[in-house]
Structure 1
Amino acid sequence: MASQAVKIIDGGKLIIPAAFRRKLGIDTGDTVVVELNEDGLHVRSLSSAVRLAQEIVREFVPADVDLADELIAERRVEAERE
């Protein structure tokens, strides 16, 4: 997608062009994740950021391990101790 110049308005608000919002899958009132790095400011939809985080975590978890099942089992053990 091509670049587009936009202005920062009162309060530091940045208006994201409608075509960009549609491409990102974000709408008015949605939460986005903003990341600052050496290349500049990056905006992601919350769902995109969650997917990325899941992919990163999955690299470190063996394929036969289900983290949700392990968490539930740990919580049950803790509940039995109480």
Structure 2
Amino acid sequence: MAANVSQGGRIVIPAEIRQKMGIAIGDQVLLDWSEETRELRVFTRKQRLQHARDLVRKYARKEGSVVDELIQERRKAAADE
């Protein structure tokens, strides 16, 4: 699919792609430029949030809380001072 660049550098995302991405009129999209691949990628906030969740889930523990562990470590360090 192709899109023309208009005055001010505007690009219209074709309706078919907007529908597939769940983009509505007035929505803000996020742009990511890759120097390595020289590509411009367009994301919705929802897509980026899901990507972040997937990354966290990949490294998160199955059991226990990292937050609780950090609090315990801080309390121990404070007690040792």
With normalisation by structure 2, the TM-score equals 0.70
- Percent identity over the alignment is 27
Alignment of 1:33-52 (within 5 A): 33-37=30-34, 38=37, 40-52=39-51
Query: Considering only aligned residues, what root-mean-square deviation do their CA atoms show, in Å?
Result: 2.0
The alignment covers a number of residue pairs equal to: 67
Change (3 A) 1:15 1:62: same
Say whether residues 1:6 and 2:22 are aligned partners: no
Mark the runs of 5 or more structure 2 residues left unpaired by the alignment: 72-81
Mark the runs of 5 or more structure 1 residues left unpaired by the alignment: 75-82
Match of 1:77 in 2: none
Aligned structure 1 segments of 4 or more residues deviating by more than 2 angstroms = 63-67
With normalisation by structure 1, the TM-score equals 0.69
Structure having the higher Rg: 2
Matching residue's letter, 2:41: H
